[in-house]
Structure 1
Amino acid sequence: MDNFFELNFWEMMLRTTISFLVLLILARLLGKKQLSQLTFFHYITGISIGSISAEIASQKETPFMDGLVALIWWTVLTLLMSYLSLKSPKIRTWIDDEPTIIIKDGEISTKSLKSSRLHMDDLLMMLREQSIFSIQDVHYAVLETNGELSVMKKVGMQEATKQDVKVPLTLPLFMPSEIISDGKIVKKNLDELDLTEDWVMKKLRKHGVDSVSDVFYAQLQTNGSLHISLRKNGI
């Protein structure tokens, strides 16, 4: 009995490890779009691949090689459909559908609501998530293929830009980036930004900080300044 339990345990460990490694490789092959589950097709594919992997790892009754072949073949089919969708707009529309105009110039398209199987409560909730409480403020609302609602407000309801109020435009010098994390300098980000540790220390001294270890977090701002959070602040 003990030998049987030990054999079964190690078999499950081996199956799980191999399934994990294969799934990791396949996930890399599928790419970022699959991982982010942008459309319903990719969402279902991701669930199916995960289910097959779980079946291989946890169900002793499932032949290991059969499950592995099914997992790899499912991935191949997904890659094939993704390739075909890149080459053919018709296939892409058939797989992922296409964006649907729900609101045009403040008027709701009941036909689009019906075809999208979307009721008014859902539509109003999606508008409120974008801080829009009145449908008449909407010029266009488009239901994307990933189920999210893209909204263009009417001109009079749009937020004013710097160009609208004629404020001088200044291009950002840097992209906000992590410079210090938990008392350690993030050298990779410094190299990408073409900055040095001496530059960081000069910035810290301007804030009265003499040691990197005293800093919990520091972020480079667009204007070249550092936003610093110290350990002594109780974080």
Structure 2
Amino acid sequence: MKSLNPSYLVIIIQTVIAFFVLLALTRFLGKKQLSHLTFFNYVTGITIGSIAANMVVLTTSQYKKYLISLIVWCALTFIISYISLKSGKIRVILDGQPTIIIKKGKIDKKALSRTHVNIDDLTMMIRQYQVFSITEIDYAILEPNGRLSILKKPEFQGTQKSDMQILPASPAFIPTEIITDGKLLEQNLLEVGKSKEWLNNELKKANIKAIEDVFYAEIQPDGKMFIQKN
């Protein structure tokens, strides 16, 4: 019986190493790199597509090597998927866990840092749910597939005013970020027709001396300020 060609053994070893290296790098990139896919599917799909694309333009001898690499990669994918079905710990390593970004109406800065999500990313994601103010949210959870799940506060849930034939008055303002990460968004302040003097007065009312002491601030529909300190 012929022994395995040393060059093919090298290919197998390199493929196994590349598999876990790419998986680790993808986990490091953070959840917002994804859409509907899990981390594991993300890595597998890109790699298989890349290997398959390279095989199209290779010579016969090179094709065999890439074919072996593709088979080994797919076999590893199947094995890891099967193990993850049997083990919750493996699923956590591969796909990650849901992360609470907003808890009881407060933004968790440490959670944002761990998931590589900034304030602008967060406000963009909540607007996709027709939520324009952080104050409407009780809990927000970043799922392993990169999507945000939102639980609104009780007063913003349930029966809509339109169901009771009540026509609410149009809000004076659209909820708008004024300060993020201790920095003033001057253009946003101008768009809502407010001055720096007005903002400074609002900060004084909240016993805040400087803009740098504010992690996040937004103007509410009624003109009041929601402020979260650093």
TM-score scaled by structure 2?
A: 0.52
Is the CA contact (8 Å cut-off) linking 2:36 and 2:147 kept in structure 1? no
Q: Determine the structure 2 residue equivalent to 1:117.
A: 116
Q: Determine the structure 2 residue equivalent to 1:218.
A: none
Is the CA contact (8 Å cut-off) linking 2:44 and 2:77 kept in structure 1? yes
Distance change in 2, residues 1:62/1:110 (3 Å): farther
Q: How does 1:1-235 map to 2 (within 5 A)?
A: 38-60=37-59, 63-160=62-159
- Higher relative contact order (CA closer than 8 Å, sequence separation 6+): 2
Distance change in 2, residues 1:74/1:37 (3 Å): farther
Is the CA contact (8 Å cut-off) linking 1:39 and 1:145 kept in structure 2? yes
Q: Give 1:66 deviation, angstroms.
A: 1.3
Is the CA contact (8 Å cut-off) linking 2:39 and 2:145 kept in structure 1? yes
Q: Give 1:37 deviation, angstroms.
A: 5.8
Distance change in 2, residues 1:64/1:134 (3 Å): same
Q: Give 1:123 deviation, angstroms.
A: 0.3
Deviations along 1:53-91, whole A, 9 cap, x unmatched?
001112338612211111111011111111111111111
Q: Determine the structure 1 residue equivalent to 2:31.
A: none
Question: Larger radius of gyration, structure 1 or 2?
Answer: 1
Q: How many residues align?
A: 128
Whole-angstrom distance in 2 between the partners of 1:101 and 1:159: 23
Q: Give 1:38 deviation, angstroms.
A: 2.0
Whole-angstrom distance in 2 between the partners of 1:153 and 1:111: 21
Whole-angstrom distance in 1 between the partners of 2:61 and 2:116: 38
Deviations along 1:145-170, whole A, 9 cap, x unmatched?
11110111111112428xx98xxxxx
Structure 1 segments unaligned to the other structure (5+ residues)? 1-35, 166-235
Whole-angstrom distance in 2 between the partners of 1:48 and 1:92: 20
SS in 2 for 1:102: strand
Structure 2 segments unaligned to the other structure (5+ residues)? 1-34, 165-230
Q: Give 1:105 deviation, angstroms.
A: 1.6
SS in 1 for 2:149: strand
Whole-angstrom distance in 1 between the partners of 2:42 and 2:109: 27
SS in 1 for 2:56: helix
